[in-house]
Amino acid sequence: MSSSQPFIQSSPLSVTARRRKSKFTFKHLVQLSNYSTTCALRVIAHVDLDAFYAQCEMVRLGVPEDQPLAVQQWQSLIAINYPARKFGLGRHITSMEAHKLCPELIMQHVATWREGDEKWAYHEDAFKHIATHKVSLDPYRMESRKIIATIKESLPAPPMQRVEKAGIDEVFLDLSAQVHSIMLGRYPELQEPPPYDDPTEYLPRPLTTVLDWNTDALVDLDASETEDDYLDWDDIAISIGSEIVRSVRARVREKLKYTCSGGVARNKMLAKLGSAHKKPNQQTVIRNRAVQHFLSGFKFTKIRNLGGKLGDDVVAMFNTDTVKDLLEQPLDQLKRMGDDTGSWLYWTIRGEDDSEVNPRTQIKSMLSAKSFRPAISTFEQGVRWIRIFVADIFSRCVEEGVLENKRRPKTINLHHRQGAQTRSKQSPIPQGKMFTEAILFDLAKNLLAQVVVDGRAWPCANLSLSVGGFEDGVANNMGIGGFLVRGEEAKALLASERHAFESHVEDKDSQPPEKRRKFDNGGIQKFFLPREISQEDSERDHTPFQRREDSDEPVNSEKDNDMSESSDPAPLSNISKPTICSDSPSTPKARHLDDDDIPPDIPPDIPPPSAQPLSPSHRISHFHQQSLNTYLCTRCSSNLPLAKKVEHEDWHFAKDLAKDLQAEEHGQTESARRTPVPQKSHSRGRGRLVGGGSSAVKGREKGQRRLAFGKG
């Protein structure tokens, strides 16, 4: 108990004394300076852009502010500016309906990646091309980055700045330390040490009697409070917080032209409700004395974490969706939801939330996906989409600081959906060298190859690629220090890498005719060309790939191929060679394909080729019995519908690839690996795959010592 409390309570002067004292202590003040989440003076803000994507388009297109505009994605509207909302437009209506309601509406389609393109763009009539385009949110991410940078610029430097990105257009700010510093400057009495050096002593009451709330939407006080009551330090703190938010918003407006709304309160939950309370371009302040009044008007399903299933469960159990009704439920009743959930709910609807504003809240995974309407049905189509996914994900990884080795993902996943069946393939991303788009692409296309090997890959209704397991501090790992490329050096390498990558995959015009022919005849194999042995690459750039070209060190093939060991990442030799991938994240061993894998899509009445090879004469007569819509595979003598030809050949190709890798894993001799299996030369232009795949493991190259991760 505070030493001052007995005095206040027992002295005849106690009433007067109490009037002169704040209800907050010196300890609260200290807590304010160090962002304590339980501090009663805490000041948290939430800032959310108004009609964000719509504003991005308005700023980009230079549209007048009163012009109704909506952002369209295919036939739907995903963002509607405030002038358009006056016409009753919302996300629930289609572009056709919107046009009827508001004929002067500008509908701007989101940028898209066109199948096969290297970069997203704003395409004319993009909404008509759902089959061949994929939405890109990059323009909005770029604006989001600028906005967050501007917000940070308008705050003092860390540690007096705490900004958590909560979504593409929203941030939480913990303003506590900044508010503390301003309070001490404005109210010198707060700089005095506590009486008796006792931090539990109460602070003197502020002398201020009126606060200027400027243009803020001030939430009315609780019924038990009046505006005539004495102000206390929490009112002062919140009003300073509100000033800060006003200046932050003004800076964003002035520098980038965007309007945003803010909420200022004692915690994240209230601040977020506040920013949405009065939109657009306003800020709502919820003083501590107004919390109950503010919350009781809400449906609890609007509260953070109660918008989804949990909220639905609470509604179902208590037969109400309002905070007001739920406040009547005692704690033990709410605990019917479970002890922890019940307690959390009890305090949440009373406006308590001690979750922290975490500037380190970082992306854990990234996903790029596409649903195909109509479904896609060839490997080449799949790879073209994968290329887009990779470009999309890689640009986001760059934002996350992969080039500076701040963070990088550890795993890559491919999800494939056919009808109701979804399959996933996963592979580790080799650590220990620069993370590039080409590496990601090589890994991703090999995951797709694994799906093809498994069979029944086509038609495919949905593909999605994701990277996950982002890790910090690769830069701190002494063992791989030699391979790290940072900052400008990394960017320069990336540029040359990107150039080589584009040429490697697609830029046929830039290649000499004979090289181009190789690609042209190549079919899907071009997607498997290991980059490190590509002649074009080594002629063009000096990426880390080249360093490996000169190696003559032997390879520990067993170790090198165990790519699933994240604690002992694969050395450079594994990075861009085709990967044998595991099906499940928890499967530590690389997946091996059995030699007797059966090609997919062989009609059930035709025995698998290994079980029943056909004699040449049989083949001819058999062939003649087939309609023109069938084809005979020269490699396995299977008879298949013509429509399955491409898939079947892909299957052989992927199978060959897997065999190569298997052979390498088992440490076969150089000569054995180099001797082409006869049928491979008949396959769809194996091209450089055989030599390339092998060369990747034939010897350890320069700078390719086994990496002593974590050992310093």
* Nearest distance, CB of residue 110 and ligand DCP, angstroms: 9
Residue placing its CB nearer to ligand DCP in the complex, 56 or 357: 56
* Nearest distance, CB of residue 630 and Mg ion, angstroms: 57
Residue placing its CB nearer to ligand DCP in the complex, 69 or 438: 69
Residue placing its CB nearer to ligand DCP in the complex, 50 or 216: 50
Q: Which does 483 bind (CB under 5 to 8 A by kind): ligand DCP, Mg ion, none?
A: none
Residue placing its CB nearer to ligand DCP in the complex, 53 or 389: 53
3-state SS class at 427:
strand
Q: What are the tokens at 697?
A: 């493991």
Residue placing its CB nearer to Mg ion in the complex, 52 or 379: 52
Q: What is the DSSP letter of 531?
A: G
From residue 156, how far is each of 39, 162, 258, 534 by CA, in Å?
Answer: 21, 9, 21, 50
Q: Is the peptide bond before 599 cis (omega within 30 degrees of 0)?
A: no
Q: 503-525 b/e with 16+ CB inside 10 Å = b?
A: bbbbbeeeeeeeeeebbeebbbb
Residue placing its CB nearer to Mg ion in the complex, 280 or 455: 280
Q: Which does 53 bind (CB under 5 to 8 A by kind): ligand DCP, Mg ion, none?
A: ligand DCP
Residue placing its CB nearer to ligand DCP in the complex, 68 or 530: 68
CA distance 657 to 207: 79
Which amino acid, one-letter code, is at 267?
N
Residue placing its CB nearer to ligand DCP in the complex, 216 or 660: 216
* Nearest distance, CB of residue 634 and ligand DCP, angstroms: 50
What residues are paired with 323 via a beta bridge?
Answer: none
Strand (E) or helix (H) holding 76: strand 76-80
**What count of other Cβ atoms lies within 10 Å of the Cβ of residue 421?**
9
| Environment class of 328 (CB within 10 Å of its CB; exposed 0-12, middle 13-18, buried 19+) | exposed
Q: What are the tokens at 14?
A: 């106690």
Q: First-to-last CA distance in the chain?
A: 51
Beta-carbon contacts of 619 under 8 Å, excluding residues fewer than 6 positions away, are: 632, 637
* Nearest distance, CB of residue 622 and ligand DCP, angstroms: 55
* Closest to 331 in 3D by CA, of 341, 317, 321, 323: 341
CA distance 120 to 141: 13
CA distance 526 to 712: 39
Q: Sheet harboring 170-174: ordered strands across?
A: 163-167, 170-174, 44-49, 260-265, 283-285, 217-218
Beta-carbon contacts of 230 under 8 Å, excluding residues fewer than 6 positions away, are: 19, 205, 209
What residues are paired with 366 via a beta bridge?
Answer: 467
Q: Which does 279 bind (CB under 5 to 8 A by kind): Mg ion, ligand DCP, none?
A: ligand DCP
Q: What are the tokens at 548?
A: 């490996």
> Which residues contact Mg ion by CB under 5 A?
48-49, 52, 169
* Nearest distance, CB of residue 167 and Mg ion, angstroms: 8
Q: Which does 593 bind (CB under 5 to 8 A by kind): Mg ion, ligand DCP, none?
A: none
* Nearest distance, CB of residue 365 and ligand DCP, angstroms: 19
* Nearest distance, CB of residue 154 and Mg ion, angstroms: 19
Q: Which does 650 bind (CB under 5 to 8 A by kind): Mg ion, ligand DCP, none?
A: none
CB 26 within 8 A of CB 195: no
Residue placing its CB nearer to ligand DCP in the complex, 47 or 237: 47
CB 464 within 8 A of CB 406: no
When CB distances to ligand DCP are compared, the closest residue is 79
Q: Which does 469 bind (CB under 5 to 8 A by kind): ligand DCP, Mg ion, none?
A: none
* Nearest distance, CB of residue 252 and Mg ion, angstroms: 13
Residue placing its CB nearer to ligand DCP in the complex, 109 or 644: 109
* Nearest distance, CB of residue 531 and ligand DCP, angstroms: 36
* Nearest distance, CB of residue 101 and ligand DCP, angstroms: 18
Q: Which does 376 bind (CB under 5 to 8 A by kind): ligand DCP, Mg ion, none?
A: none
* Nearest distance, CB of residue 386 and ligand DCP, angstroms: 24
Degrees, nearest 5: CA angle 433-138-86: 160
> Which residues contact ligand DCP by CB under 6 A?
48-53, 78-79, 91, 168-169, 279-280
Residue placing its CB nearer to Mg ion in the complex, 50 or 216: 50
Residue placing its CB nearer to Mg ion in the complex, 177 or 270: 270
* Nearest distance, CB of residue 327 and Mg ion, angstroms: 29
